[in-house]
Amino acid sequence: MIFFHRLSQAFSYLIIAGATVMLGWGLLGFLEYFTGLAPLMPLQNHTFPAGTQAVHWILITLSGATFLVGYFLRWRYTPVAMLVLFASLATMCAIQTFDFLQNPDRYGNFARECVYYIIISVYLFRSKRMREWFGQIKVVELEQKL
């Protein structure tokens, strides 16, 4: 049992690291988008229309920030918010993959990205560690608030 506890702990830290990278990537993307400055490397994809690129940076920044703030504040709706953001990111990625990208590995990258979103979402909703961290979300509670 201790092995699975440690594995779950490590995976939660991996998600925190990934969210930190997403937040940083999104902020650097916005910096370049609005100023043209690319401190580390160019991040803009010039095959994307300006509006698509803006939504791309909004979703990436919002995803990283939402998870980090939600995790550290123990916001009980963090898993739901991340599910919505992951669905939005997957939709944006589908648009980019099928309409704009030209690289030969784009379909594999898209599939992997979607699998990552599914794995993280299942973990956020189903793992004992995350249920204890955020608390369980009951469908009845959500229905009453709507």
Long-range CB contact pairs, 121-129, < 8 A, 24+: 121/79, 121/82, 121/83, 121/86, 123/11, 123/15, 124/78, 124/79, 124/82, 124/83, 125/79, 125/83, 127/8, 127/11, 128/8, 129/5, 129/8, 129/9, 129/12
pLDDT tops 80 at residue 15: yes
Domain boundary assignment for the chain: 2-145
Question: Would you state the pLDDT for residue 8?
Answer: 94
Average pLDDT of the residues in 48-72? 95
pLDDT tops 80 at residue 141: no
pLDDT class of 1 with cuts at 50, 70, 90: confident
pLDDT tops 90 at residue 111: yes
Average pLDDT of the residues in 105-134? 96
Average pLDDT of the residues in 6-31? 96
Question: Would you state the pLDDT for residue 39?
Answer: 87
